[in-house]
């Protein structure tokens, strides 16, 4: 039975229970593949086959992009130090690719069409071969057009050569994603036509009167005037919402209720991966303390929280230890409160715990525009404007960006729970490279909400030359978010070592969330020669232009280029 | 406007579209990404029946575009047909170029149809979002035989719920001199104020009901007499707003 109900004006929960995945029946799908749960493939040699698969998450049959007939793709278990060989065969009618998200490897093995290689043509097989130099939780996904949105994502666990730091009785991957019945090309076109199409949390006349009653007419009017002057909407938290998305946990709808078993007192590791295309999840397990022990595959000093936000591309390993023989709900609400993914930690299969209500919708504050009410009418020009910025492509600029790592972000501030922030994360063992940065590159995260243009420094990918790193150099990347959206920024092939506001090493990540009006600094060691992707991991932002090539050139080549 | 002049006006559009298409195809081929891909849409903001007082009639207002982020071919059309009074319709075609954060420049032409002789105009205008979210279209026209005209349209949206939206709208047409053959007076020729309440079953499909007040200043420029007299109408409008 299809369940498509509207809990309130803002929350959409789509999805059907039971076997959400229908066995591959399409003409191109190979026979004999099992549906859920995803297979676990262990070893050093792997054969992956990318093809179309019939699925049904909402009551409507659709076609997904799957690996070995699975969505999510099989979990790959590697050992640190092993030489990994993965043969990927393309049974789609279009080109495909697999990118190993967060892994350090040779540039030609990174899986980005046009930069690393030519992509994998229909019918062709490409063999990836690289050494697993690191350990921890990672993931893989397609880097071709919208194939990630249609299902091509899976988890990777690389066991540390020296054994796991935290010995647990249970170890589960919790891969979060967003499914849509629509063609992603159509969603992209829709955003270009009406960027507010998916926002059903806009402010109404009634909201204005409520604000006036609560804070007085003058304050309510002044507040509306400031947003109106900026032509911005404080409810514009995500571009694609639960209006079209069904949020999945390990490929299972909320109604399907993905479950993991445990016995009372056992220690459980949950490896959360956000494999979604456009969603931020705020994750909690009511009744359980969450001890975060790793971020983006890298061990951190354990920190106990009640809730954490995970952006597209990010990974957190979390330990829990249920004190009761009772079910616990793993609750991952979309940042805008328009829906959620949900599963259960259960002593016995089939048990379920209450699902908490979605938090009341929050709105962006004027601080998220980088201004106080008093500054609203002043032109924002304190920081230098990026050179070559195209005015018509940039709808705001932040005069006084905030460098705090302690702000958990919009919708999480002051919600009464202990929420993780980057200030809580300390990578064990410190920075990989003790050198001080020799050079600094500042990039502004820019965009135009209404035109749905996204870019760095006001230039889309097609309009910008590559960013050049010199091989071997240690440099500092400074990101200034000149937009009202949070962006997960992902640099391929090299770690992003985030600095605290005081300039000390804080945490090592591969995907870095930058809040609206935030300035964030991280260090990069350009040890990997070649052409790399650097982009916002919101898929539709990347496709709209928020992408740059980073070229790591041998030192002499850079000098030659400078002379000529 | 002579044909040659019109072709000249549309040259930048053709060039801009060709440029973006070339950039787009290179990127699409190698990267499986395309941030410069041209897209398009057409929507009818209003397709409505008007009545209450006589005369009854039908009216439409639609827009469409094709192109990239900065340069688009933009089409705009509106018209009305009243029983016993004939038709009035126009189609405009622009090169629409994003010039500033909230503003686009429009260069092109306009053709008037309907009762009376057809008229052609060269057009230059701006389209954009004014502070507080007011949509503005302002266009200047130059026609044959020294005719001049201007059009201003402003529009706003007020949400009662996430789907119930009130849309106030004002449109005004001004002419440099009278055109009696088309029953147009000099100065402000017509003024239309609409208030439409729509329910968005989907964003793409919203039935609405509204009130429209039209003040039509006849060719004689004042309120006297027979044909070409002022009309001051208040009508009920029932219609559909949709993306096609």
Beta bridge partners of A235: none
CB-based contact, A338 to chain B, within 8 Å: no
CB B35 within 8 A of CB B118: no
Q: How far apart are CA A92 and CA A262, in angstroms?
A: 39
Beta bridge partners of B58: B49, B81
In this prediction the pTM is 0.92
Residue B130 has pLDDT above 60, yes or no: yes
Q: Which of A111-115, A151-155, A511-515, B56-60 has the lowest mean pLDDT?
A: B56-60
In angstroms, the separation between the Cα of residue B193 and the nearest Cα of chain A is 21
Q: What is the pLDDT of residue A370?
A: 74
Torsional sign, CA A535, A536, A538, A542? negative
Q: At A364, phi and psi to the nearest 5?
A: -65, 150
Grade residue B185 by pLDDT with cuts at 50, 70 and 90.
confident
Q: What is the pLDDT of residue A381?
A: 43
CB A198 within 8 A of CB A240: yes
Yes or no, beta carbons of B159 and A203 under 8 Å apart: yes
Q: Give the residue from chain A lying closest to B43, CA to CA.
A: A193
Residue A137 has pLDDT above 90, yes or no: yes
pLDDT digits (tens, 9 = 90+) for A223-261: 999 899 889 899 999 999 999 999 999 999 999 999 999
Residue B113 has pLDDT above 80, yes or no: yes
pLDDT digits (tens, 9 = 90+) for A162-178: 999 999 999 999 999 99
Of A202, A395, A543, the CB nearest to B159: A202
Grade residue B9 by pLDDT with cuts at 50, 70 and 90.
low
Q: What is the pLDDT of residue A13?
A: 73
CB A142 within 8 A of CB A124: no
CB A504 within 8 A of CB A470: no
- To test the contact with chain A by mutation, choose from B31, B64, B130, B197 the residue with the greatest count of A C-beta atoms within 10 A, namely B31
Q: What is the pLDDT of residue A255?
A: 94
Q: At B33, phi and psi to the nearest 5?
A: -140, 160
Q: How far apart are CA A511 and CA A313, in angstroms?
A: 6
**Side-by-side strand order, sheet with A281-284:** A258-261, A340-346, A328-334, A281-284, A308-310
DSSP letter (8 states) at residue A402: B
CB B137 within 8 A of CB B151: yes
The DSSP secondary structure of A350-374, one letter per residue, reads: T---PPPPPPPPP---GGGGT--GG
Residue B55 has pLDDT above 90, yes or no: no
Name residues whose C-beta falls within 8 Å of residue A131's C-beta, 6 or more positions apart in sequence.
A81, A82, A83, A84, A105
The DSSP secondary structure of A75-115, one letter per residue, reads: EEEEETTPEEEEEEEE-SSS-B--EEET----GGGS--BTT
Q: What is the pLDDT of residue A373?
A: 42
In angstroms, the separation between the Cα of residue B203 and the nearest Cα of chain A is 7
* Preceding amide of A299 cis, omega within 30: no
CB A304 within 8 A of CB A289: yes
CB A248 within 8 A of CB A339: no
Q: Give the residue from chain A lying closest to B31, CA to CA.
A: A114
CB A486 within 8 A of CB A545: no
CB A74 within 8 A of CB A151: no
Q: How far apart are CA B44 and CA B77, in angstroms?
A: 9
The stretch A128-157 carries a mean pLDDT of 98
The DSSP secondary structure of B40-102, one letter per residue, reads: EEEEEEEEEEEEESSPPEEEEEEEEEEE-SSEEEEEEEEEEEETTTEEEEEEEEEEEEE-SSS
DSSP letter (8 states) at residue A437: P
A-B contacts at Cβ under 8 angstroms: 93
What are the Cα distances from residue A109, in Å, to A98, A116, A550?
9, 6, 16
Torsional sign, CA A537, A539, A544, A547? positive
Q: What is the pLDDT of residue A3?
A: 42
Q: What is the pLDDT of residue B242?
A: 97
DSSP letter (8 states) at residue A167: -
pLDDT digits (tens, 9 = 90+) for B74-101: 999 999 988 777 788 999 999 999 999 9
- To test the contact with chain B by mutation, choose from A231, A532, A548 the residue with the greatest count of B C-beta atoms within 10 A, namely A231
Question: What is the SS3 assignment for B17?
Answer: helix
Q: Which residues of B touch A (CB under 8 A)?
A: 23-24, 27, 30-36, 39, 41, 69-70, 98-102, 129, 131-133, 158-162, 203, 243
What angle, 0 to 180 degrees and rounded to 10, lies between the N-to-C axes of helices A217-230 and A205-215? 130
Name residues whose C-beta falls within 8 Å of residue B2's C-beta, 6 or more positions apart in sequence.
none
Question: What is the SS3 assignment for A322?
Answer: coil
Q: What is the pLDDT of residue A93?
A: 97
Q: What is the pLDDT of residue A385?
A: 60
DSSP letter (8 states) at residue A493: S
Q: How far apart are CA A462 and CA A546, in angstroms?
A: 10
Mean of all residue pLDDT scores within chain A:
90
Residue B11 has pLDDT above 90, yes or no: no
pLDDT digits (tens, 9 = 90+) for A380-403: 444 556 655 678 999 988 888 999
Q: What is the CA radius of gyration of chain B?
A: 20
Name residues whose C-beta falls within 8 Å of residue A157's C-beta, 6 or more positions apart in sequence.
A75, A76, A77, A78, A136, A137, A138, A173, A271
Yes or no, beta carbons of B133 and A202 under 8 Å apart: no
Q: How far apart are CA A161 and CA A175, in angstroms?
A: 24
Taking CB atoms and an 8 Å cutoff, what residues of chain A touch B203?
194, 197
ipTM, two decimals? 0.90
Please choose, from the candidates B158, B156, B217, the residue with its C-alpha nearest in 3D space to the C-alpha of residue B186.
Answer: B217
Q: What is the pLDDT of residue B6?
A: 57
Q: Which residue has the higher pLDDT, A21 or B135?
A: B135
* Helices marked H in A258-377: none
The DSSP secondary structure of B124-177, one letter per residue, reads: EEEEEEEGGGEEEEEEEEEEGGG-EEEEEEEE--EESSSSEEEEEEEEEEEESS
Yes or no, beta carbons of B162 and A95 under 8 Å apart: no
CB A64 within 8 A of CB A52: yes
Taking CB atoms and an 8 Å cutoff, what residues of chain B touch A95?
32
CA A211 to chain centre: 33
In angstroms, the separation between the Cα of residue A79 and the nearest Cα of chain B is 31
CB-based contact, A197 to chain B, within 8 Å: yes
The stretch B102-125 carries a mean pLDDT of 95
String of b and e for A210-226 (b: at least 16 CB within 10 Å)? ebbeeeeeeebeebbeb
Q: At B27, phi and psi to the nearest 5?
A: -65, -45
Residue B107 has pLDDT above 80, yes or no: yes
Q: At B34, phi and psi to the nearest 5?
A: -160, 95
pLDDT digits (tens, 9 = 90+) for A313-357: 999 999 999 999 999 999 999 999 999 999 999 999 889 999 999
Q: What is the pLDDT of residue A363?
A: 87
Q: How far apart are CA A260 and CA A509, in angstroms?
A: 28
Going by DSSP bridges, is the β-strand pair A153-159/A73-79 parallel, antiparallel, or unpaired? parallel
The stretch B117-126 carries a mean pLDDT of 96
pLDDT digits (tens, 9 = 90+) for A249-258: 999 999 999 9
Residue B70 has pLDDT above 70, yes or no: yes
What are the Cα distances from residue A388, in Å, to A398, A535, B218?
17, 19, 52
In angstroms, the separation between the Cα of residue B34 and the nearest Cα of chain A is 6
pLDDT digits (tens, 9 = 90+) for A539-558: 999 999 999 999 999 877 65
Of B24, B33, B161, the CB nearest to A204: B161
Taking CB atoms and an 8 Å cutoff, what residues of chain B touch A209?
none
Cβ neighbours around B26 below 10 Å, total: 14
Of A95, A204, A544, the CB nearest to B32: A95
Taking CB atoms and an 8 Å cutoff, what residues of chain A touch B70?
390, 392-393
Beta bridge partners of B212: B194, B235
Grade residue A368 by pLDDT with cuts at 50, 70 and 90.
confident
Yes or no, beta carbons of A392 and B70 under 8 Å apart: yes
Q: Which of A291-300, B49-58, B87-96, B156-165 has the lowest mean pLDDT?
A: B49-58
CB-based contact, A90 to chain B, within 8 Å: no
CB A84 within 8 A of CB A135: no
User: Exposed, middle or buried, A545 (CB in 10 Å: 0-12/13-18/19+)?
Assistant: buried
Q: What is the pLDDT of residue A399?
A: 82
Q: Give the residue from chain A lying closest to B162, CA to CA.
A: A200
CB B133 within 8 A of CB A228: yes
CB B114 within 8 A of CB B86: yes
CB-based contact, A436 to chain B, within 8 Å: no
Q: Give the residue from chain A lying closest to B101, CA to CA.
A: A392
DSSP letter (8 states) at residue A190: H
Torsional sign, CA B235, B239, B241, B244? negative
């Amino acid at each position: 039975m299809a369940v498509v109900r509207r809990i309130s004006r803002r929350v959409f929960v789509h999805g059907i229970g039971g076997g959400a995945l229908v066995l591959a029946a399409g003409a191109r799908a190979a026979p004999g593949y099992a549906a859920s749960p995803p297979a676990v493939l262990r070893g050093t040699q792997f054969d992956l086959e990318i093809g179309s698969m019939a699925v049904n998450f909402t009551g409507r049959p659709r076609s997904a992009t799957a690996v070995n007939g699975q969505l999510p793709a099989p979990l790959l278990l590697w050992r640190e130090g092993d030489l990994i060989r993965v043969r990927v065969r393309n049974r789609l009618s279009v080109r495909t690719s697999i990118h190993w998200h967060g892994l350090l490897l040779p540039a030609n093995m990174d899986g980005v069409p046009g930069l690393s290689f030519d992509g994998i043509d229909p019918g062709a097989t490409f063999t990836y071969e690289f050494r697993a130099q690191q350990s921890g939780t990672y993931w893989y996904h397609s880097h071709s057009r919208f194939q990630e949105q249609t299902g091509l994502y899976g988890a990777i666990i690389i066991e540390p050569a020296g054994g796991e730091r935290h010995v647990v009785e249970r170890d589960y991957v919790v891969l979060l994603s967003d499914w849509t019945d629509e063609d992603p090309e159509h969603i992209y076109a829709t955003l270009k036509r009406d960027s507010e199409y998916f926002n059903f949390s806009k402010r109404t006349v009634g909201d204005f009167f409520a604000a006036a009653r609560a804070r007085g007419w003058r304050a309510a009017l002044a507040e509306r005037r400031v947003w109106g002057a900026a032509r911005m909407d404080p409810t514009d938290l995500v571009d694609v919402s639960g209006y079209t998305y069904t949020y999945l946990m390990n490929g299972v709808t909320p109604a399907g209720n993905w479950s993991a078993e445990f016995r009372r007192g056992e220690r459980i590791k949950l490896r959360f991966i956000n494999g979604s295309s456009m969603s931020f999840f705020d994750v909690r397990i009511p009744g359980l303390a969450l001890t975060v022990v790793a971020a983006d595959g890298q061990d951190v000093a354990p920190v106990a929280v009640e809730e954490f936000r995970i952006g597209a591309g990010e990974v957190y390993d979390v330990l829990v230890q249920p004190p009761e023989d009772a079910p616990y709900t793993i609750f991952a609400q979309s940042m805008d409160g328009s829906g959620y993914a949900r599963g259960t930690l259960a002593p016995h299969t089939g048990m379920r715990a209450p699902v908490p209500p979605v938090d009341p919708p929050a709105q962006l504050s004027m601080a998220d525009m980088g201004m106080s009410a008093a500054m609203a009418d002043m032109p924002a020009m304190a920081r230098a404007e990026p050179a070559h910025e195209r005015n018509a492509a940039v709808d705001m600029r932040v005069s006084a960006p905030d460098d705090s790592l302690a702000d958990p972000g919009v919708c999480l501030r002051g919600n009464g729970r202990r929420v993780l922030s980057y200030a809580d994360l300390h990578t064990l063992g410190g920075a990989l490279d003790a050198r001080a940065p020799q050079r600094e590159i500042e990039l502004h995260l820019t965009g135009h909400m209404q035109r749905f243009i996204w870019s760095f420094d006001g230039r889309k990918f097609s309009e910008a030359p590559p960013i050049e790193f010199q091989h071997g150099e240690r440099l500092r990347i400074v990101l200034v978010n000149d937009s009202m959206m949070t962006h997960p920024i992902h640099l391929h092939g090299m770690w992003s070592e985030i600095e605290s506001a005081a300039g000390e090493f804080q945490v090592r990540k591969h995907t870095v969330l930058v809040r609206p009006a935030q300035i964030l600094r991280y260090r990069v060691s350009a040890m990997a020669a070649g052409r790399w992707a650097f982009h916002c991991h919101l898929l539709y932002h990347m496709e709209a232009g928020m992408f740059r090539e980073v070229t790591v050139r041998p030192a002499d080549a850079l000098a030659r280029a400078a002379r000529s | 406007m002579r044909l040659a002049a019109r072709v000249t006006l549309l040259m930048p559009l053709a060039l801009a579209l060709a440029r973006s298409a070339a950039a787009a195809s290179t990127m699409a081929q190698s990267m499986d990404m395309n941030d410069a891909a041209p897209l398009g849409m057409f929507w009818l903001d209003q397709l409505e029946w008007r009545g209450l007082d006589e005369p009854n009639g039908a009216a439409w207002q639609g827009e469409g575009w094709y192109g990239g982020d900065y340069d688009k071919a933009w089409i705009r059309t509106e018209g009305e047909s009243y029983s016993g009074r004939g038709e009035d319709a126009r189609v405009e075609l622009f090169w629409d170029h994003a010039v500033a954060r909230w503003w686009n420049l429009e260069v092109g032409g306009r053709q008037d149809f309907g009762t009376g002789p057809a008229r052609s105009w060269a057009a230059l205008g701006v389209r954009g979002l004014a502070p507080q979210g007011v949509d503005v279209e302002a266009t200047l026209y130059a026609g044959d035989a020294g005719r001049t005209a201007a059009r201003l349209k402003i529009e706003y949206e007020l949400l009662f719920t996430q789907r119930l939206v009130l849309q106030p709208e004002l449109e005004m047409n001004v002419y440099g001199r009278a055109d009696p053959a088309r029953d147009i007076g000099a100065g402000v020729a017509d003024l239309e104020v609409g208030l439409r309440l729509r329910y968005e079953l989907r964003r793409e499909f919203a039935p609405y009901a509204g009130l429209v007040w039209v003040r039509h200043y006849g060719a004689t420029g004042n309120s006297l007499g027979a044909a070409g007299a002022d009309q001051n109408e208040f009508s009920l409008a029932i219609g559909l707003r949709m993306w096609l």
